[in-house]
């Protein structure tokens, strides 16, 4: 059995003869899990499984009464936001299938990506359920799901994403240095700009509303989505770091300039989205503050990639401090969300506790 796997993974093109296990981006479908080349990816896979949640656990019951309490401006914000969520995760899932899974050639990494795909599906299901709950009118619902076509600020975000999906085109294999650079840019776009910036922007609105006591169902589901997304981003950045360690020459000044331009574009696109969302005037959240927050997040992403900051902005939203702090749930209010799935060990009566 092992022999067969080795045969199928032996690449015909030359460099592999010196490195029999190959590089992460070498084309192919490596099936060998032992010895494991990237145990950190496998650990991430297992950690993700411990975070399993289901849409049925999210309690949307108080949201419906909150929706009636919202001002017109706030309702506009919520509708736009949910419309973005409805399509955002689908785009990420598509890129995962079309590009990442194909090119990241390590079975342990593909285990993680499979898990991520499942999580993206859960997110899509969550926002589907949310839209069905929030928008009882079928026409309004259809318009929201079609946001990519008919809402310009969301269309602009989708176009930004497509630009980096299409840039990989129909590459079946990452044969050249240019191919691999294009792949890295795609990966960074999805990790740092889409999951790491667009979603972080969207989550900020949700947490802003929650800090005002609004839409707990949206917030508690989003909390779990956010937890998943931050893991996805960390995994992707881990892949970037691994590839850079294996092939240091891929990243040079020109590449860095591309990344900086990409993040600057993403901040602009997301700021336009903020202008749309906040058009009605929402006390406590301004476009200027939102932009500062996005710049701050973009700088963090650059920092995670080992680049210097672009903006030097600080986070203006103190309600986001709350997101970094452990929660203490009162079961009269809501369910405790922080339970775990895998527990190990066997019975004993003399362990310390």
Partner 1 sequence: MRVRHRDGALEPVDVTRIVTAVARCADDLDQVDPLRVATRTIGGLYDGATTEELDRLSVQTAADLIGEEPQYSRLAARLLAGLIADEVAGQGITTFSSGIRYNHELGLVSDATARFVAAHAAELDVLVDMSADRRFEFFGMRTVHDRYLLRHPHTRLVVETPQHWLLRVTCGLARDVAEATELYRLLASLAYLPSSPTLFNAGTAHSQMSSCYLVDSPRDELESIYERYSQVARLSKFAGGIGIGFSRVRSRGALIRGTNGRSNGIVPWLRTLDASVAAVNQGGRRKGAACVYLETWHPDVEEFLELRDNTGEDARRTHNLNLAHWVPDLFMRRVHADEVWSLIDPDEVPELPDLWGADFEAAYLAAEAAGRFVRQLPARDLYTRMMRTLAQTGNGWMTFKDAANRTGNQTAEPGNVIHLSNLCTEILEVSSDTETAVCNLGSINLARHLVNADAEAGDNGADPADPAARMDWAALRATVRTAVTFLDRVIDINYYPTPEAAASNPRWRPIGLGVMGLQDVFFALRLPFDSEAARELSTRLAEEIALTALERSVELAREHGPHPAFAQTRAAQGVLHPDHFDVTPTQTARWAALRAAVATHGLRNCLLLAIAPTATIASIAGCYECIEPQVSNVFKRETLSGEFLQINGYLVNELKHRGLWTTAVRERIKAADGSVQSIDELPDDVRALFRTAWELPQRALIDMAAARMPYIDQSQSLNLFMADPNIGRLSSMYAHAWASGLKTTYYLRSRPATRIQQATVATSITQAVPSPSAAEAVACSLENPETCEACQ
Considering the complex, state which of residue 81 and residue 171 has its C-beta at the smaller distance from partner 1. 81
Q: How far apart are CA 166 and CA 217, in angstroms?
A: 35
The residues near 206 (Cβ < 8 Å, ≥ 6 apart) are 81, 215, 218, 219, 222
Instruction: Using alpha carbons, list the distances in angstroms from residue 262 to 19, 86, 165, 315.
Output: 34, 24, 13, 21
Rank residues 20 and 39 by Cβ distance to partner 1 and give the closer one: 39
Q: Which is nearer to partner 1, 100 or 282 (CB)?
A: 282
**Closest CB to partner 1 among residues 52, 167:** 52
Please confirm, yes or no, whether 42 is among the known catalytic residues.
no
> Contact 183/25 with Cβ under 8 angstroms?
yes
**Tokens, residue 241:** 């770091």
Min dist CB 238 to partner 1, Å, is 9
Q: How far is the CB of 157 from partner 1 (least distance, A)?
A: 20
Q: Classify residue 170 by its DSSP letter.
A: T
Minimum Å gap between C-beta 278 and partner 1 is: 8
- Rg of the chain's alpha carbons, rounded to an integer? 22
Say which of 127, 205, 207, 293 is annotated catalytic: 127
State in angstroms the smallest separation of the CB of 258 from partner 1.
Answer: 21
In which region does residue 250 sit, left (phi positive, over 0), alpha (psi from -120 to 50) or beta (all else)? alpha
- Closest CA relative to residue 55, chosen from 115, 133, 113: 133
Nearest distance in Å: CB 328, partner 1: 5
DSSP secondary structure code for residue 332 in this structure: T
Question: What residues act catalytically?
Answer: 127
């Amino acid at each position: 059995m092992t022999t067969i796997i080795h045969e199928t993974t032996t690449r015909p093109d030359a460099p592999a003869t010196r490195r029999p296990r190959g590089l992460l981006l070498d084309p192919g479908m490596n099936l060998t899990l032992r010895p494991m080349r990237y145990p950190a990816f496998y650990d991430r896979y297992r950690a993700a499984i411990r975070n399993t949640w289901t849409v049925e656990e999210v309690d949307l019951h108080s949201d419906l009464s909150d929706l009636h309490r919202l001002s017109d401006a706030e309702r506009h914000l919520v509708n736009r936001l949910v419309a973005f969520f409805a399509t955002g995760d689908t785009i990420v899932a598509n890129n995962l299938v079309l590009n990442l899974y194909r090119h990241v050639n390590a079975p342990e990494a593909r285990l993680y990506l499979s898990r991520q795909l499942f999580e993206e599906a859960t997110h899509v299901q969550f926002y589907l359920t949310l839209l069905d709950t929030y928008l009882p009118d079928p026409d309004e619902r259809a318009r929201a799901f079609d946001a990519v076509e008919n809402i310009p600020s969301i269309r602009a975000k989708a176009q930004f994403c497509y630009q980096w999906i299409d840039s990989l085109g129909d590459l079946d294999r990452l044969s050249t240095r240019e191919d691999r650079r294009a792949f890295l840019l795609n990966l960074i776009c999805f990790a740092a700009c889409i999951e790491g910036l667009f979603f972080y922007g969207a989550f900020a609105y949700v947490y802003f509303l929650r800090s005002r006591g609004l839409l707990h169902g949206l917030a508690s589901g989003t909390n779990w989505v956010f937890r998943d997304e931050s893991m996805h981003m960390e995994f992707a950045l881990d892949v970037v770091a691994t590839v850079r360690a294996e092939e240091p020459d891929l990243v040079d000044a020109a590449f860095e300039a591309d990344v900086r331009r990409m993040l600057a574009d993403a901040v602009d696109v997301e700021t336009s989205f903020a202008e749309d969302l906040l058009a009605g005037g929402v006390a406590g959240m301004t476009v200027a503050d939102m932009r500062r927050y996005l710049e701050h997040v973009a700088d963090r992403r650059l920092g995670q990639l080992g680049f210097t900051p672009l903006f030097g902005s600080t986070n203006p939203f103190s309600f986001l401090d709350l997101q970094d702090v452990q929660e203490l749930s009162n079961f009269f209010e809501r369910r405790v969300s922080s339970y775990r799935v895998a527990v190990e060990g066997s019975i004993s009566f003399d362990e310390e506790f």
